[in-house]
Structure 1
């Protein structure tokens, strides 16, 4: 097996793993909401339930980005890309992926500093849960890092092969398109 094939399989696995982690985060949100409802019905108190659901929502969002991009689920200006000739289409895609890649690596660079200092100072949430903030921040940073890797992957794909690896799932689109 070639190095390129191993790298491709590893990246695809990373994107799917991130998507699976996002799905687990969504299930956690559901469980937390159900637990909050049960606590209210029984007269008990569930401290920090809303905060934990918020952490899970942030994690689910960032963890899902790379997998969603690979499946064509992100909002893109396809009308413009489909209306221009192929050479301009390629230039626009390179420009979009280059800008997106730069922004995400910038976010990751400062995000890791943010998580580091939250860990170093033992920063806790202001809610009743008192959660160490570096824990939920780490999941967001992991998702952002996977998205930055994914954008870089697509940028290199467009540069070297002339097309991105985004696969549009036509079954997910509305029938009106």
Structure 2
């Protein structure tokens, strides 16, 4: 069930990237259209996307944070395993567990801070400074959701490691310490 939730979050992340593509293409098309109108001696029209950079920034943040849990569950995060590849048995298990606990602690701290920021932004009614006043609690809430899913994924991984298994790239538990 967790893999399915992570997968849906990854699909939402991909849709955010597609939305960025569409918005940028609309903006470029509007500029080309105005360039043609200027070349023909015509007046320009307002063919821009208001607050494009700001909205694309929010979509990029959403895509980044929503993809975290799925990439962790699939084992495709960048990992520095220089030390781990030289360890076997209990030493490897201990290092894996320590690294997983540290990552979980960092993710929980980030999620806690983002949750507090969402509540403050909601309470004060903070909006963006661009032409389109976006309530800041909305993109922050999506980031909080992504961090929350990452915390669940890291907790799942930590439990698997503590039980003597490590989540492989395929998602299947693999015995450790061979």
Please tell me the TM-score bracket, short chain as reference. Answer: 0.7 to 0.9
Contact 1:73 1:168 in 2 (8 A): no
**What are the ranges of 5 or more consecutive residues in structure 2 without an aligned counterpart?**
35-46, 172-178
User: 1:53 matched to which residue of 2?
Assistant: 56
SS in 1 for 2:165: coil
Which of 71, 89, 94 pairs up with 2:97?
94
Q: CA deviation at 1:82?
A: 1.5
User: 2:38 matched to which residue of 1?
Assistant: none
Cα distance in structure 1, aligned partners of 2:145 and 2:168: 21
Cα deviation code 1:144-175 (max 9, x no counterpart): 11001100110011012x12213169xxxxxx
Q: How many residues matched?
A: 159
User: 1:136 matched to which residue of 2?
Assistant: 139
Q: How does 1:138-177 map to 2 (within 5 A)?
A: 138-160=141-163, 162-167=164-169
Of Structure 1 and Structure 2, the greater helix share is in 1
SS in 2 for 1:79: coil
Contact 2:73 2:167 in 1 (8 A): yes
Cα distance in structure 2, aligned partners of 1:98 and 1:53: 33
Q: Which moved further from structure 2: 148-157 or 79-88? A: 79-88
SS in 2 for 1:164: strand
Contact 1:69 1:166 in 2 (8 A): no
Contact 1:58 1:140 in 2 (8 A): yes
SS in 1 for 2:166: coil
Cα distance in structure 1, aligned partners of 2:146 and 2:168: 18
Q: CA deviation at 1:128?
A: 1.8
Contact 2:3 2:73 in 1 (8 A): no
**What are the ranges of 5 or more consecutive residues in structure 1 without an aligned counterpart?**
1-9, 170-177
Contact 1:32 1:52 in 2 (8 A): no
Q: TM (normalized to structure 2)? A: 0.84
Which of 10, 30, 48 pairs up with 2:21?
30
User: 2:71 matched to which residue of 1?
Assistant: 68
Cα distance in structure 2, aligned partners of 1:167 and 1:79: 18
Contact 2:23 2:52 in 1 (8 A): yes
Bigger Rg, structure 1 or 2: 2
Query: Are positions 1:106 and 2:89 aligned together?
Result: no
Which of 2, 10, 30 pairs up with 1:11?
2
